[in-house]
Amino acid sequence: MLTSAPLFLHFPVDHKPLILTTDASGIGVGGVLQQKVDGQLRNLYYHSQLMTPCEKKYSTIEKEALAIYKCFARMRPFLLGRSIILMTDHCPLCNIMHKTVRNVRVDRIATLIQEYNIEQVIHIKGRENCLPDYLSRHPREQDDELYDIDYGIASKENFLQPEFPAEGAQVSLLRSNKPRLVAAMTLRSRKNKNQTVQVTTIPDNEDALNNNDFNSESDKDTPSTSPIPLNFSSNHFDVTKLKEEQQKDSHIQHIIQQLKENPGNPTFTCKDGLLYKLITPSRFSKTNVPVVYLSSFMIKPLLHACHDDPMIGGHFSTNRTYNKIRTHYWWPNMKHTIKKHIQSCLLCQQYNISRYKKHGHLRPIPPHDGPFMLVGIDYCGPFKRTPRENQYVLVITDYFTRHITAIALPDCSAQTTAQALFNDYFCKYGIPAVIISDQGPHFQNILMENIQK
C-alpha cells in the first residue's frame, strides 16, 4: 500500500517542488521524498540506513546533518535540477544554507549540498515527523558498496561465493596474489552461525605487538588461537632471558625484596621470580593488568625490535610505538625513553621531514618617546568595490597614542601605497622614525626605500 498508487508516485511531476523530510536517531538515519499533487502529499522515495560505529558517536546536530546528506546522496537522480523544500525537526539546521554553524562536519555537508536547488529549509515539530522518525529507528543494514548499483555492479550472482570448510577444519590465511578488491569481497562473505571454523592467521608487522591478552603459565601448554599472537622469540625476549636480566638489575631486585617484606603492594607483583608492573590498559578499564618490568639492559634491544626491526617494527611514531609496548612491558620514564630513541633514529630523521614552519620568537616592541614616531601599517581587503572605485583600506596605527588612520585606496600596489603614505600621513603627522609592516611587496620595494631615505 505504501509503495503503490495512489499514495506512491513512480516519477515526480514537473514544475512542482519536491519535499524532503529527514530525521536521525541513535542508530540510523531516515528520510522520505514527497511531492504535493492535487492538494495531497504523494510519496516518491523512502530511505533508511544504519549508522557506522563512528557515526553513532556524532553529536545531535551532526547526526541530523548526516541524515540530510545521506538522503541527498541516495535520492540524487530525483533531486538534481529540481526545486526542493527541506524539512527537519532540528531547528539549528534551518540556516544551514545561509551561514556557518561553527561545526566542521555540518559546514562540510552544507558545502556538499550546494549543488541542489534548495528553496527553503523548514522546521517541523518532532511529533509531526513520524515517517522519517520510524525509518531512522528501523534502519536497514549497511549496503556493501562493492555491490551497489551506483558502482556499476547490478547483481551479486556474478561473483563466486566462497565455500565454507568442514566443521573443525584448520584454515591458514596467507597473503593472496589476487587484487585487494577480490580479497575484500571474499572476506566479507555470508556468515553461517551453525559452522565453527578455527582460524590461524599470520600477524602483520604492526599488529604483532598489539595483543592485550596476558598469557599465564597455564596457557603455555595450550596452542594459542589468537589472530595476533605475542611472539618475541626472534628477538630473544623469552621468560628465561627476562629473569636473568632482572636478576642483574639492582633496582628490580630491591623492589622484589620489598614485595617479600610487604606483599600487599598494589603497584607491583612477583610471580615465579619475575617482577610485573600492574597497569590499567585503558581509561575505561577497571581492572589492572600485569606487564613485565623490563630491565634497563633490555630496553635498547626492545626498542630496536619494536621500532627499527623491519619485520615487527615499522618506524612508527612515539605514541604508536608506546601503545605497542605498554601492553607487554614497562619501565620508568617509558614514554620519554621511546621519544628519545625515535628522535635518534637515522631513517626517521631522514624521511620524516617536518612540514610545519618553526614558530618565530616573540620580540617585544620598545615604546617610543612621543606620538607618531613608531607606527604600524597593513592592508585590509579586497572588499567590494565602492562607487569611487576603492577596494582596499590602508590602516596606519600609532603605537604611542593608539591613533588609527584608515585610507581607502583602489589597489595595493607599491606606487599607490607610497603616494597615500606621503600625501595623507607624512604631510599631516610628520615622518615616523620606525615603520613596522609584514614586509609585503607593497611595503618592501625600491620606492618605499627611497621615501624612507
> Which pLDDT tens digit goes with each residue over 60-87?
999 999 999 999 999 999 999 899 999 9
Is the per-residue pLDDT at 187 higher than 60? Answer: no
- The dihedral formed by the CA atoms of 88, 47, 191 and 52, expressed in degrees to the nearest 10: -30
Q: 284 or 320, which is more confident?
A: 320
Backbone phi, psi, residue 382, to 5°: -80, 145
What is the 3 state secondary structure string of 66-88? HHHHHHHHHCHHHHCCCEEEEEE
Number of helices followed by number of strands (H, E) in the chain:
14, 15
CATH node for 18-142: 3.30.420.10
Does CATH place domain 233-351 in 1.10.260.40?
Answer: no
Specify whether the backbone of 372 is left (phi greater than 0), alpha (psi in -120 to 50) or beta. Answer: left
Q: Please, which residues have CB within 8 angstroms of residue 279's CB and are 6 or more apart in sequence?
A: 288, 289, 291, 326, 330
Cβ atoms of 2 and 8 closer than 8 Å: yes
Domain 374-452 sits in which CATH superfamily? Ribonuclease H-like superfamily/Ribonuclease H (3.30.420.10)
Residues of each domain in the chain carrying CATH 1.10.340.70: 233-351
Is the per-residue pLDDT at 156 higher than 80? Answer: no
Q: Is residue 140 very low, low, confident or very high in pLDDT (cuts 50, 70, 90)?
A: low
The dihedral sign for the CA sequence 385, 388, 392, 393? negative
Distance between CA atoms of 294 and 292, rounded to whole angstroms? 6
Instruction: Give the predicted TM-score (pTM) of the model.
Output: 0.35
Amino acid 353 reads I
Residues of each domain in the chain carrying CATH 3.30.420.10: 18-142, 374-452
Distance between CA atoms of 267 and 278, rounded to whole angstroms? 5
pLDDT tens figures, 305-326: 888 877 777 788 888 888 888 8
Confidence (pLDDT) at 28: 92
Give mean pLDDT, residues 82-94: 92
